[in-house]
Amino acid sequence: MRNYFKRVAYILVAASFFSSATAIAGSYEDFFRAVNRDDGDTVATLVQRGFDPNSRDPQGQTALHLALRDQSPRTANALWRSTDLDVNALNGAGETPLMLAALKGELDWAQRLLTRGARSHQEGWSPVHYAATGPEVKLLQLLVERGAPLDARSPNGTTPLMMAARYGTVDGVAYLLARGADKSLKNDLGLDAADFAKAGGKEMLVERLRAAAAK
Q: What is the 3-state secondary structure (H, E, C) of the chain?
A: CHHHHHHHHHHHHHHHHHHHHHHHHHHHHHHHHHHHHCCHHHHHHHHHCCCCCCCECCCCCEHHHHHHHCCCHHHHHHHHCCCCCCCCCCCCCCCCHHHHHHHHCCHHHHHHHHHCCCCCCCCCCCHHHHHHHCCCHHHHHHHHHCCCCCCCCCCCCCCHHHHHHHHCCHHHHHHHHHHCCCCCCCCCCCCCHHHHHHHCCCHHHHHHHHHHHHC
What local confidence, expressed as pLDDT, does residue 211 receive? 87
CA torsion angle 106 107 108 114 (round to 10): 110
- Within this chain, domains 1-85 and 96-215 share the same CATH topology: yes
For 112-122, the pLDDT digits (tens) are 999 999 999 99
Q: Dump pLDDT digits (tens) for 182-204.
A: 999 999 999 999 999 999 999 99
Asked whether residue 5 carries a pLDDT value surpassing 70, the answer given is no
CATH annotation of 96-215: 1.25.40.20
Q: Are 59 and 67 in contact (CB under 8 A)?
A: no
Looking at CATH, the fold of the domain delimited by 1-85 is given as 1.25.40
- Integer Cα distance of 43 and 23 in angstroms: 15
User: φ and ψ at 56, to 5 degrees?
Assistant: -110, 145
Q: pLDDT band for 213, please (50, 70, 90 cuts).
A: confident
Q: How confident is the model at residue 27 (pLDDT cuts 50, 70, 90)?
A: very high
Per-residue pLDDT band for 23 (boundaries 50, 70, 90) equals very low
CA–CA dist 21, 212 (Å, integer): 62
Q: What is the pLDDT of residue 79?
A: 98
Query: Above 70 in pLDDT, residue 86?
Result: yes
- Apex 83 CA angle, 114 and 103, nearest 5: 35
pLDDT in the model for residue 15: 37
pLDDT digits (tens, 9 = 90+) for 136-185: 999 999 999 999 999 999 999 999 999 999 999 999 999 999 999 999 99
Average model confidence (pLDDT) for the chain? 90
pTM of the prediction?
0.86
Among the listed residues 141, 98, 158, 86, the one whose alpha carbon sits nearest the alpha carbon of residue 122: 98
| Residue 209 C-alpha from the chain's centroid | 29
Domain positions in the chain are 1-85, 96-215
Is the pLDDT at 32 greater than 90, yes or no?
yes
Phi and psi angles of residue 62, each rounded to the nearest 5 degrees, phi first: -80, 170
State the pLDDT at residue 214: 81
Per-residue confidence at 26, pLDDT binned at 50, 70, 90?
low
